[in-house]
Structure 1
């Protein structure tokens, strides 16, 4: 499938076919641990008994999860739900680990979508060693979108050998004003 022919873009075709040879040498990885998922569930308001059921442990919500937006789960895809009919700015925080080559430099490339302005900071990640971690922010800005709109683009980190693809999706939810008489 080609996202240029399909308005659903990133949700329609995924990240592409898996190439087993490239999958065993990804270059960069996004790590998320059990504690990250617990914080996610806590920040989304899941009750403690449900979290305990999922983790099979006596787990409680850490205070640090109170203001952690779900979009900040350290996951390769970047998805944000924004209010319809309002311009928006959304920032995603991510960390990647170098599993490719020591002394490697990855440059950020963002595919063009005229309705989205995407900024990646820093736009270059330089690693001196394997297992080294680097953090970056992706800020996505756009004008007012109608209800039930989805816009997508792609961030690719590349060192010339590895191409680490992260889909970016922004979609709307209806504003409360749309339901008032």
Structure 2
């Protein structure tokens, strides 16, 4: 499908516009009923289970939240790998709660995992927090509680510079953040 008509702004000649689904595996997690959560997954040893409430507005994740998935149940859950990105895609926090994982986790169905292909994770992470992305994301919100379907998330466009340029962009953003601290 030609995306020419959908491109929101011009980029340098050596950049390309592409869909998020072409540069990352993108998927949602699993829901757990309250009954199941209390009987099988509370205060047990296993892989951390991250819900929307565990991703805060300051890009941090609360891993040790009392909910874990024991090894025997892991095959029933989606895994978000270390260095992937979790973003809330439903409710008032949709598009606003986002963080990079520092370990493999299981995760909830209102979160979306972006597992970027090699070398573009930090660039994608920062782009997913940009006003440009947020505008495209909000245009795709539907329903009473305001969510974006995984199919729509995969179709959102991202401007993709060459890897070296991505690295320079990330370094500059991180330098500016450091100056703010």
TM-score normalised to the size of structure 2?
Answer: 0.27
Structure having the higher strand fraction is: 1
Structure having the higher helix fraction is: 2
Task: From the CA coordinates, give the structure whose radius of gyration is larger.
Answer: 1
TM-score normalised to the size of structure 1?
Answer: 0.27
